[in-house]
Amino acid sequence: MSAVLEANGLGKRYGRNWALSDCTVTIPSGHVVGLVGPNGAGKSTLLNLAVGLLKPTAGGLEVLGGRPSDDAAQLGRVGFVAQDTPTYAALSVADHLQMGARTNPSWDRQLAQGRIARLGLDPKQKSGKLSGGQRAQLALTMAVAKRPELLLLDEPVASLDPLARREFLQVLMETVAEDQVSVVLSSHLMADLERVCDYLVVLVASRVQLAGPVDDLLASHRRLIGPRRDPATMPGNQIVIESSHTDRQSTFTVQTDDPILDPSWTVEEVGLEDLVLAYMGQASTSARPFRPTIGLVQ
């Protein structure tokens, strides 16, 4: 399975502030990848680096086997929707499609016009007068109509109402089903990511904390509830991600590949949101960056 994105020690610095540091992750193709983390974690930075809008300060990055640049061929393979889905407010919907057709050799005119018609957008309407949801749909159409191999979406639904969000994801999933395009979608809304993502990358404090297929992540983490216990006494094959204690009881979120045999534990599965929260919490309290031991399952 080839990788759509391969980062190696990737870093980006603004002045003295590292927006992204020591980012090493390989994202395989054929997935809808959720890029999740708190605001300011570096999600936007990573996506902008991947599409060539930013130049790395350190490390290497390869997207679809090539370096992100403003080479026309490379740009044609990657569709991008930036945060808050910017468009040219004074230009109409039809103008935007014209722009797409004239600046992308691989533009599929029929697909673009068909989508706009199905979405019920008025081609003559200026994009500044569209609602947030409609603008997001327009931006998505622009990214999809050039038939890319990879779609990068930077928090495209963050400022949309629930209905517009749902409609956006419906159209996005339909595109994935139809064209087999890989998607990397950044968001801090776990509910959306749980629905559509089958691969997850957790980015906290400008570092990758966790990466892997959702099914594997869920299968290899458990919540253990039992009598009060020191985390250091936990067996070696159970890595404690998060722990909380009362005077009588301890709750641990552990990562393990083996079954939990100790009968004193109540074992529960961990939901995706809780899992991400556990890694986010652990990242903010630990002194050194946590190196995830979950490898890429190919």
Partner 1 sequence: MIEFHLDTHSGVAPYLQIVQQVRRALRLGLLHEGDQLPTVKDVVARIAINPNTVLKAYRELEHDGLVSARPGVGTFVTRTLSDPSLAAHGPLRQDLQRWLTKARLAGLDDESIEALFRDCFRTALERGIA
Partner 2 sequence: MIWLAWRQVRTQVFLVVGVLLAIGVVLATTGPHLVHIYDTVIKPCEAKPNCGNVGTFSNTDRFLQSVSLLLLIAPALVGMFWGAPLVAREFENNSHRLIWTQSVSRMRWLAAKLGIGALVTVVTVGLLSLMTTWWFSPIDAFSNNSLTPSTFDRRDVVPVAYALFAFALGATAGLLLRRTLPAMVVTLFGFIGLRYVVEDYLRLHYMTPLKISAPFNPLNPGLTVGRPGGLQSSDQVVSQETVTGTGRVLSQNGNIGPTSGEVSVSNSGTVTLRGVGPCQGHVNNSLKATGRVSQSVQQSGSGTTHVHARSGGAIEQLNQIVSACSHKYGLRDIVTYQPLSRYWPFQMYESAIFIVAGLVLAGFSLWWLRRRMA
CA distance 11 to 56: 6
Q: Contact with partner 2 (CB under 8 A): which of 9, 30, 40, 105?
A: 105
Binding residues for partner 2 restricted to 122-141, rule: CB under 8 A: 139
Token pair 């600046």: residue: 103
Q: Which is nearer to partner 1, 30 or 65 (CB)?
A: 30
* Candidates 2-10, 24-32, 89-97, 224-232; binding stretch for partner 2 (CB under 8 A): 89-97
Positions in the binding site for partner 1 (CB under 8 A):
31-32, 166, 169-174, 176-178, 191, 194-198, 269
- 17: CB partners within 8 A, 6+ apart: none
Q: Which is nearer to partner 2, 109 or 245 (CB)?
A: 109
84 binds partner 2 (CB under 8 A): yes
CA-closest candidate to residue 93, choices 51, 53, 145, 155: 145
Burial 157-174 (b: 16+ CB within 10 A, else e): bbebeeebbebbbebbee
CA distance 194 to 209: 18
* Candidates 7-15, 67-75, 174-182, 286-294; binding stretch for partner 2 (CB under 8 A): 67-75
11 binds partner 2 (CB under 8 A): no
156 binds partner 2 (CB under 8 A): no
2 binds partner 2 (CB under 8 A): no
Q: Which is nearer to partner 1, 54 or 214 (CB)?
A: 214
Q: Least distance (Å) from partner 1 to the CB of residue 137?
A: 13
Structure tokens at 42: 């570096």
Q: Least distance (Å) from partner 1 to the CB of residue 169?
A: 4
Q: Least distance (Å) from partner 2 to the CB of residue 39?
A: 17
CB 38 within 8 A of CB 187: no
Q: Which is nearer to partner 1, 161 or 174 (CB)?
A: 174
82 binds partner 2 (CB under 8 A): yes
106 binds, among partner 1, partner 2, none (CB under 5 to 8 A by kind): partner 2
Q: Contact with partner 2 (CB under 8 A): which of 40, 55, 65, 180?
A: 55
Intra-chain end-to-end CA distance of the chain, in Å = 7
122 binds, among partner 2, partner 1, none (CB under 5 to 8 A by kind): none
SS3 249: strand
Q: Contact with partner 2 (CB under 8 A): which of 11, 42, 100, 133?
A: 100
- 285: CB partners within 8 A, 6+ apart: none
CB 286 within 8 A of CB 240: no
Residue 152 exposure: Cα atoms within 13 Å on the Cβ side: 25
Q: What is the CB neighbour count within 10 angstroms for residue 183?
A: 21
Binding residue count for partner 2, defined by CB under 8 A: 38
31-to-19, 125, 131, 249, 286 alpha-carbon distances in Å = 26, 34, 30, 39, 31
- Provide the binding-site residues for partner 2, judged by CB under 8 A: 48, 51-55, 69-73, 75-76, 78-80, 82-84, 86-91, 95, 98-100, 102-106, 139, 142-143, 146
